[in-house]
Amino acid sequence: MSAERSWDQRRFVVEESAVNNGGKRTIFVETMSPGVSVPPHFHTKFSETFDLIKGAIKVYKTDQPDEEKLEASAQDLKVGEPKMVEPLMYHKYKVGEEVTALRVTLTPGNLDFERVLKIMNGLAEDGELEKFGDSKLLMGAIFELTDAHLFGPAKAMSEALYAEDGDEIRAFRKELLEKYDTDEALKKLLVPVPVTA
């Protein structure tokens, strides 16, 4: 794999969990190293709103499963100018040349996506994440939990991966969930939100 996903170069905090708001939304902040990107995909269960906090990131989105159109859609995200990606919109993003913090809002909230955040931070806390930097097993488990439907060459790669290692991916996902999908892990992810008068 390439720099796409580079699991060990990303950290997360949750500002609002669907557990605490009746499923209305999930809000998290992702901090990423330069060059981190996600492959082209779409979601069916939620929209994503990307809100740049600091750094540099390009967001790509189109309503057609066409990689050329997706590439042509590149927009630099600017602080204070969030961009929404609706369900079924094909999209990806790529971090620029500096550490970047991105606030992401999923509407409605998605507990499986939150489980991924717990897994990622749990692996990092245990000193295990670095060894999964480009792990296909981790990628397979994560894409399924995050409702990420790939297209283009990434889809073909994903389908081949599941055909070859599907049982191993499912077993690995089960192991990760058993270890990291805990109330304690969610408490560690949640950042205190200041109360305003």
Q: With cut-offs at 50, 70 and 90, classify the pLDDT of residue 131.
A: confident
For the chain, helix, strand, coil in percent to 5 are 35, 30, 35
**Whole-number pLDDT of residue 132:** 79
**Whole-number pLDDT of residue 197:** 46
Reported as half-sphere exposure (CB side, CA atoms, 13 A), residue 116 has a value of 19
Query: What is the fold, at CATH topology level, of the domain defined by 7-189?
Result: Jelly Rolls (2.60.120)
Digit-coded pLDDT (tens) for 66-79: 999 999 999 999 99
Alpha carbon distance 20, 143 (integer Å): 24
Mean pLDDT, range 11-23, rounded to an integer: 95
Mean pLDDT, range 28-46, rounded to an integer: 94
Lowest mean pLDDT among 108-117, 120-129, 171-180: 120-129
Please count the other Cβ atoms lying within 10 Å of the Cβ belonging to residue 12: 19
Q: Is 80 exceeded by the pLDDT of residue 9?
A: no
**Whole-number pLDDT of residue 6:** 54
Digit-coded pLDDT (tens) for 93-109: 999 999 999 999 999 99
For the chain, the average pLDDT equals 91
What are the residue ranges spanned by the domains of the chain?
A: 7-189
pTM (whole model) above 0.85: yes
Lowest mean pLDDT among 17-21, 29-33, 140-144, 146-150: 140-144
